[in-house]
Structure 1
Amino acid sequence: MKSGISGEANPLCLVSLDQLRLRTSEKWQMYPRDVLPLFVAEMDVLLAEPVACAITDAVTRGDTGYPAGTAYAEALAEFARKRWDWDGIRAERTAMVPDVMRGIVEILDVISSPADAVVINCPVYAPFYHFVGHTGRRIVEAPLGDDQRIDFAALKEAFERAAQHGPRPVYLLCSPHNPTGTVHTADELATVATLAAQHGVRVVADEIHAPLVMPGAVFVPYLSVPGAENGMALMSASKAWNLAGLKAAVALAGPAAADDLAKIPAWVQEGPSHLGVIAHTAALRDGTPWLDDLLDGLDANRRLLVDLLAEHLPGVRYRPGEGTYLAWLDCRDLGLGDDPAAVFLEHGRVALNSGPSFGTGGAGHARLNLATSPVLLTEAVRRMAAATAAATSS
């Protein structure tokens, strides 16, 4: 990875605010025009050129039918070999799914029943609660430690409680973790595998942010660690290359879980967008230079946010994450109540994600999307500071 990045090379510096407001996606349509949106996981970037070309070429030749083949899985396997030095992806142990959360639901259906419990590390990606709850399964929380890493004593206790609700408990692991940006180490993941085996828990890893790991950190695929043979994982190029609107993901099985993965119905595997599969495949095969530029830009934004908070909002505690493009802001010392994002929106016209939606440990916090230009990030923090002053002086 390059040590520096120019404005011309930084994908986060190529789209103006006026251009962004022409977009019709959720990020730019949910709120009025005076609101600066830094909430949902969309990036303020143009598509990587290889991805744009792949989509354009497919449309030109009328290639807009149903998805087929293993090109996506093969591209992911090649990316994993080059990026993570991992040779563990086999096309025969993969399945295409419409997106990561739909894949999680389908996997839960084949390895557990609605009577079983699902363990999650809170605070965590809010849809974990929504999707798991919709299946009827009980959620058992294992709160992260004060260092934002897995608390293994809490995890062990959660596994024990989960086993009391049904014979096939599941641990839904977020790796890298959303919203904290924590990147789990090989030792931590091996401990997860050991504890899961001891308590009869199946591990399903959401690894959608895997390509988004900052300099100095190393992503370790869960299925690469000893003891993870009966685990499953889900990966996608959607977050790293801004392809959320082009639905596609890959479900992966460890060697001992291949039979379970094969139980996912065929119609689910036909659910991804064909253009999505084409785009994701192109991103993984040819989009690494663009990704490296993006990561440099995100790393610069992490450091910029540290400086901006120190200058304008010193009461906010922020530990830069090792992965994702998300910043988990501890605003409890600002005196803004359980949901500071509501205050930032009302008084500062900047939209962040509400901390309480991430479960236990989210009160007093807000999640900020760093995947924007330094100019917009600076303006957002200034607005947040003004909102804090207005709310606390009234």
Structure 2
Amino acid sequence: MTRIPHETSGEPNPLRTLTLDRLRCRSSMKWRTYPEDVLPLWVAEMDVPLAGPVVRAVTDALALGDTGYPSGTAYAEALSAFAAKRWGWDGLEVERTTIVPDVMLGIVEMLKLVTGPGDPVVVNPPVYPPFFPFVTHLDRRIAEAPLGADGRLDLDVLEAVYRRAVAGGGRAAHLLCNPQNPTGTAHTAGELAAVAALADRYGVRVVADEIHAPLTAGGVDFVPYLSVPGAENGLSLMSASKAWNLAGLKAALAVVGPAATADLARLPEEVGHGPSHLGVLAHTAALRDGTPWLDALLTGLDDNRRLLTELLAECLPDVGHRPGEATYLAWLDCRALGLGDDPAQVFLERGRVALNSGLEFGTGGAGHVRLNLATTPEILTEAVRRMAAAVR
């Protein structure tokens, strides 16, 4: 498929701004977990400066001493306007939203509303590793419906797992990653409508993690789960966190379909005390005023996807790689390299490049690594060359 490039915004590419020395001054997990001789291309933090509107919103609040508790619906209003303009979705009603501390804690709260202890939660591995411990610590059990070999939802497998999940007469939920992490698959409207139809047939409640929603490649559309026919009783978690690099400014929104309004009404009021007020201000500013910066980022990510494809073809031609349709993550099949089930360990020890081990992502992850390409072209290039040297 030929992808249409993103529109130019006049903003500089955020991925070409910071030097390695400057990045090493950061004190976040990405830059402090490994020694300084390691290039960190693992955890989902981007090597970018913040968007100007976000910086202004936070610094203005600090100057004013506006550091209390969050209030109001400005975040939901900004997300609703963004969804309408960006995705053509007018169905995000502010009245069917509530702020939650972050996406994963929001997922926990949504699962509490639609399932009980011991109930199954369907996931599609290989998938975001925290899905597994968060579900099990909630005293729910994982039911795997693995992705197909093409990295897309396997609807036949999904139906079989749904059928087993509800066979005992209990409740079940499907924790859907949309877009998918780590494969970068952007589920289509047809795929999501098929999920909704199956969920309706078997009485499964879908909870969609849509944190990567704004991060699509050029020419690829994001489809909100709640926008497809049959998803009226679905629940979604959205945030500006990933697209604007705001993981340290925690805030997210739970959004539900019209048939799930009663479920949302049962959410304890104290859940809304968890988000950071500064986080809410930052996320609101990003969605409302940060789209030129986002457009520049998306263009830079498209460039890096092309660069990674070229580097792998040149340096590691035996690595399987399908450029992602969304996210800034690349899922690399390293099985042909003969490095065993955990090639990330080899790349770390011999190449001094930190990647995510595919084993953490569940079924289908052995022999794979996840690479974060939201970095400078220079770091990405050096990382792949180190990886290649590690297997010679």
TM-score range, shorter chain: over 0.9
**CA-to-aligned-CA distance 1:266-320 (integer Å, 9 cap, x gap):** 1111110000000000000000000000000000100100000011001101000
Quote the Cα distance in structure 1 between the aligned partners of 2:92 and 2:74: 13
* Structure 1 position 47 matched with structure 2 position 54: no
Please name the residue that 1:213 is paired with: 216
Say whether the 8 Å CA contact 1:117–1:165 is kept in structure 2: no
Quote the Cα distance in structure 2 between the aligned partners of 1:6 and 1:220: 23
Written as runs of structure 1 = structure 2, the 5 A alignment for 1:126-275 is 126-164=129-167, 167-275=170-278
Q: Compute the RMSD of aligned alpha carbons.
A: 1.4
* Structure 1 position 69 matched with structure 2 position 94: no
Q: Give the paired residue count.
A: 389
* Structure 1 position 118 matched with structure 2 position 124: no
* Structure 1 residues 2 and 123: CA distance shift in structure 2, 3 A: closer
Please name the residue that 1:9 is paired with: 12
**Of 381, 384, 389, which residue of structure 1 is paired with 2:387?**
384
Quote the Cα distance in structure 2 between the aligned partners of 1:7 and 1:29: 33
Question: Residue 2 of structure 1: CA displacement?
Answer: 6.0
* Structure 1 residues 4 and 265: CA distance shift in structure 2, 3 A: closer
* Structure 1 residues 6 and 221: CA distance shift in structure 2, 3 A: closer
Written as runs of structure 1 = structure 2, the 5 A alignment for 1:211-360 is 211-360=214-363
Quote the Cα distance in structure 1 between the aligned partners of 2:318 and 2:265: 51
Counterpart AA for 2:112: D
Quote the Cα distance in structure 2 between the aligned partners of 1:31 and 1:369: 15
TM-score by length of 1: 0.97
TM-score by length of 2: 0.97
Question: Residue 110 of structure 1: CA displacement?
Answer: 1.2
Partner SS state of residue 326, structure 2: coil
Counterpart AA for 1:191: A
Partner SS state of residue 176, structure 2: strand
Structure 2, gaps ≥5 residues long: none
Quote the Cα distance in structure 1 between the aligned partners of 2:336 and 2:219: 30
**CA-to-aligned-CA distance 1:106-163 (integer Å, 9 cap, x gap):** 1111111012100000100000001001111110100101110000011001101211
Question: Residue 164 of structure 1: CA displacement?
Answer: 3.1
Partner SS state of residue 147, structure 1: coil
Higher alpha-carbon deviation: 59-68 or 4-13 = 4-13
Question: Residue 9 of structure 1: CA displacement?
Answer: 1.4
Quote the Cα distance in structure 2 between the aligned partners of 1:166 and 1:355: 34
Partner SS state of residue 367, structure 1: strand
Counterpart AA for 2:163: E
Say whether the 8 Å CA contact 1:117–1:166 is kept in structure 2: no
* Structure 1 residues 134 and 184: CA distance shift in structure 2, 3 A: same
**CA-to-aligned-CA distance 1:16-36 (integer Å, 9 cap, x gap):** 000000000000000010110
Counterpart AA for 1:275: L
**CA-to-aligned-CA distance 1:347-385 (integer Å, 9 cap, x gap):** 000000000100000000000001000000000000101
Say whether the 8 Å CA contact 1:97–1:249 is kept in structure 2: yes
Runs of 4+ in 1 over 6 A off after TM superposition: 4-8
Say whether the 8 Å CA contact 1:39–1:353 is kept in structure 2: yes
* Structure 1 position 372 matched with structure 2 position 375: yes
Partner SS state of residue 197, structure 2: helix
Please name the residue that 1:80 is paired with: 83
Question: Residue 5 of structure 1: CA displacement?
Answer: 7.0
